[in-house]
Every structure is written in structure tokens, then in C-alpha cells.
Structure 1
Amino acid sequence: MVAAADAQNYAEKLGIAHGMVVQELGWDEDVHDDLRADVEQAIGGEIVDEDSDEVIDVVLLWWRDEDGDLVDALMDAIGSLADDGFVWVLTPKTGQPGHVEPSEIAESAPTAGLTQTSAINLGTWAGSRLVQPKAPTKQR
């Protein structure tokens, strides 16, 4: 299988593995279809949409400059997120239509209660990984 010899696939880069529940928000005609296909192949199923009532392991948030308030979108994204789940904010790279300044993500994440841990290159898109801070102990 030639593809297996290629560079790491998108799902691996994103830390997505078989059996994870992946939710996609902000889908539009411009999204990276190869990335989506890699993710669905890796999880062994379909990506769920914003109407899902499952506990989510990973959120793929496609975000463009004209999409509105990133803090609001992040707050919505973490509503069903598992305690150890994470969000990838996927934005068009510099020079692409809809490009988002990295500082906007860095400033929006803490307001939404998230911490940025890494950034990766995904072709014409860039990904910023956001996680929920670990609480010492949770009481419910």
C-alpha cells in the first residue's frame, strides 16, 4: 500500500484515532476534503454534525475571518466535549481568503476557558489545538 509509506496522515497529525467521536462545526464548500476523509477513515465512521447529542472527543471547528465571534463559537464547541477532549480551530493559512490572525485564536481561547497547546500546518489550512485546563478534582 503506497499511501501508508507517505508522510503522516491528517488524522494522525490531529491526534484522532479509531473509535473517537469527532464533531465538525463550520463546514462550508472550502473545507479540506482530504482531511475530512482521513478523519472518517481513522475513526471508522462518520464525523458528527452540530446536532449530535453524543459526548465529543474532538471538535473540528472550521473558522474564517468573516465567521463572527470566535469566543462564542468556542463556547458552543465545548458544550458536549469530553473532559479530556480537544478542539482544533482550522483556519485558512496566511494569504488565503478568510485568513484569521493567530493572535485572534490566542486571545479567544482563554476567554472560552481553553488553552492553546500546539499549531500545525494542514496544506492550505492551519490548525490550532485547544484543550480544557485540567481541574484538580471535579465535584458534581
Structure 2
Amino acid sequence: MSPTPPSGNGPGTAARLGLKPGLIIMESGYDDDADDVLREDIVAITGEDMEPEDTDEVVDVVLLWYRDGDGDLVDVLVDSIAPLADDGYIWLLTPKRGRDDYVEPSDIAEAASIAGLSQTSIATIGDGWSAARLVGRKTPGGKK
């Protein structure tokens, strides 16, 4: 795993997640409990509004808000892979330990593996969310 970005929210969180100007980001699983400061920071740093989950665009990043009870995580991850560019990745955001609808890290790891993804880093987003960066597994020869 690569180093874990520093925790916190506010200006700079999107940059610590590796987001930068020009990236096309699709948001999925948004609800009232999502971190609006992070969402605003993403729009500010990329210079683009986030695409809705029903977009036909090819995207660089999927920002996936997921809570225990939001359906089968494997299915949600597989659906999130479809719009990704070949070198795209998913930031899976789940409630932190101790919060309602917390998702066990072992459940994330198992679902990611079944969906053909690998976790490369983790981050803390504000007071309420944890983030896991998921990428497609590379096969020998450099193809997914």
C-alpha cells in the first residue's frame, strides 16, 4: 500500500486524495450524510462539477459513498467499474468506526477482491468518513 494521506477535511482534502484539475469524477451513493466540504473541495480543485451516477461519460475517478445496508458491495463496486477509464480508480467512502452504518474493513477487502479490485491506500475524510482507494488489478503483460 502507498502512504496514507493525512486525515482531515477542508481545503486540501481533494488534493490529498490525488485529485487534480481536469479529472472527470463521477459521484455515486450521495445522500444527506455525505461530506459537503469534501464535495466542494473536489469541484474547486478539478474545476468540474461531478458527474451523476447515471452518466454516459468515461470517468477518471468514481467517488462512491457506501454505507452498510446500501446493497451488495460487490454489485455496487462492479457497477462503479463500468464508467472508469482504463487507468481510473474508485475512492470508496464509508462511515468511520463507531458511526451508524459502519462497514468492516474485511468486508471491503473481500468485496474488492471479488470485484477484481485491489486496495492501494486509505484516508480519513473529516470526522465521519474513511476512504479506500481501489484500482483494477493488473495482469501480467500490463493489462487489467
Q: TM-score, normalised by structure 2?
A: 0.88
Partner amino acid, structure 2, of 1:95: G
| 1:88 maps to which of 85, 88, 91 | 91
CA distance in 1, matches of 2:31, 2:10: 26
Partner amino acid, structure 2, of 1:129: R
1:113 and 2:116 matched? yes
| 2:39 maps to which of 20, 36, 39 | 36
Identity in percent? 50
Partner amino acid, structure 1, of 2:71: G
Alignment of 1:36-75 (within 5 A): 36-75=39-78
Aligned-residue Cα RMSD (Å) equals: 1.6
Higher percent of residues as helix: 1
Partner amino acid, structure 1, of 2:116: G
Unaligned runs of 5+ in 1: 1-5
Larger Rg: 1
| 2:102 maps to which of 82, 99, 120 | 99
CA distance in 2, matches of 1:43, 1:121: 20
Partner amino acid, structure 2, of 1:51: D
Partner amino acid, structure 2, of 1:102: P
Change beyond 3 A, Cα 1:8–1:32 = closer
Unaligned runs of 5+ in 2: 1-8
Partner amino acid, structure 1, of 2:53: E
Q: Greater RCO between the two (CA within 8 Å, min separation 6)?
A: 2
Number of residues paired by the alignment? 133
Residue 93 of structure 1, CA deviation: 0.2
Residue 137 of structure 1, CA deviation: 5.1
CA distance in 1, matches of 2:114, 2:132: 16
Check the 8 A contact 2:10/2:37 in 1, yes or no. Answer: no
